[in-house]
Amino acid sequence: MVTDFLIRPDADGDRAGIASLLLAAFPTSSEARLVEQLRKDGDIVFSLVAVEASDVIGHALFSRLRAPDSALSLAPVAVAASRRRRGIAAAMIEAGLERARAECWAAVVVLGDPSYYRRFGFSRKAVRGMSCRYAGPGLMGLALSGSGLDGPRIEHASAFSSTGDSH
Ligand SMILES: CC(C)(COP(=O)(O)OP(=O)(O)OC[C@H]1O[C@@H](n2cnc3c(N)ncnc32)[C@H](O)[C@@H]1OP(=O)(O)O)[C@@H](O)C(=O)NCCC(=O)NCCS
């Protein structure tokens, strides 16, 4: 693990840096637009940045789900190409999960590569039997407290569908 980056909640001054990072990290602008729309809608619960010499080099965002309302969605996660494979995404995800636990959120869902997210405890089993617009091999959940993921369906904040379904 390297120690030359800092992870902290984002601030207003980070918005341009986050947008540039997302535009460079993803093939389309849909993740950058997703973050702006979640912000406008008030659906961001917390948003973490990794910063190196005052540059935003990583971003991980936790937003509220519409259902179950005791759970969060982790998306997007991005690290600057030149800073990957140094554990920066892992450090942001761990910090976010720790904060979600401290705030007594029941669970987190993520859409991503199971071979990566499994190491944080995410599993397909945790979402089994729940319907979701994004159902598929990449949809995983992690119970943090109480009943974990509970209910018939997982429904993301409306920004996910209004800014494109590629998230
Ligand atoms: C996916 C993404 C966020 C990962 O960021 P990252 O900071 O490189 O992630 P980590 O360093 O935590 O882990 C990535 C790999 O580096 C390895 N790694 C971590 N620390 C390392 C280190 N110090 N030295 C070498 N490798 C290391 C991890 O084991 C992992 O390898 P594996 O998945 O092949 O087993 C980044 O690649 C990215 O921004 N991709 C484009 C956007 C995207 O697809 N986001 C995900 C969907 S929202």
What is the Å distance from ligand 1's center to 24 Cα?
16
84 C-alpha to ligand 1 centroid (Å): 6
Domains of the chain: 6-153 (3.40.630.30)
What average pLDDT does the chain have? Answer: 95
17 within ligand 1 shell (Cβ under 6 A): no
Residues 13-51: tens digit of each pLDDT: 999 999 999 999 999 999 999 999 999 999 999 999 999
Provide the H-helix boundaries in 26-110: 30-41, 88-102
Distance 151 CA to ligand 1 centre (A): 32
Confidence of residue 129 (pLDDT cuts 50, 70, 90): very high
pTM, entire model: 0.94
Give 127's contacts (C-beta < 8 A, 6+ positions apart). 109, 139, 140, 141, 149, 154
Angle between helices 30-41 and 15-25 (to 10 degrees): 150
Tell me the one-letter amino acid at 148. G
Residue-wise pLDDT tens digits, 92-122: 999 999 999 999 999 999 999 999 999 999 9
